[in-house]
Amino acid sequence: MTAQNVKKESLKKKKQLQARLQKIAERYRAFTNSSSFVGNMRYDQDEQSMTGILKGKHYKWCNVPESKFDSFQGAGSAGAFFNRDIKGQYNCSSGGILSELKSRLSKLQKTQ
């Protein structure tokens, strides 16, 4: 392989990496909050999920509309917004449909 071909291949790989990084940057959005209750929050546009830190613990919320994340990010009080507009409505890691299905399965198994 000639030096020119090596340079072309290197440039091609660099462009591919930049394209992947751009795709990642488009997929995820995030904001940092300095309140004692709400910490760093991240939104995954592909999954429509949000992950973040509340009082030092990591959580995940599912089926969150992007507009809800935008409103959360711009809220004057992130804690009040969370408690009013997110809490209990988008649970997936500590509840939600998976938890409900597991509960139903457990009850069925006990009756057999």
Which whole-number Å values give the CA distances from 110 to 2, 59, 106, in the listed order? 70, 31, 6
Please tell me what DSSP assigns to residue 95.
S
What is the spatial distance between Cα 94 and Cα 88, in angstroms, rounded to a whole number? 10
Dihedral sign of CA atoms 88, 92, 93, 97 in order: positive
What are 62's two structure tokens? 């599912």
Query: What are the extents of the domains in the chain?
Result: 3-111
pLDDT digits (tens, 9 = 90+) for 13-69: 888 888 777 776 678 889 988 888 999 999 999 899 999 999 989 999 999 999 999
Beta bridge partners of 50: 43, 61
Segment (H or E) for 105: helix 96-111
- This prediction's pTM: 0.63
pLDDT digits (tens, 9 = 90+) for 10-29: 888 888 888 777 776 678 88
Beta bridge partners of 30: 42
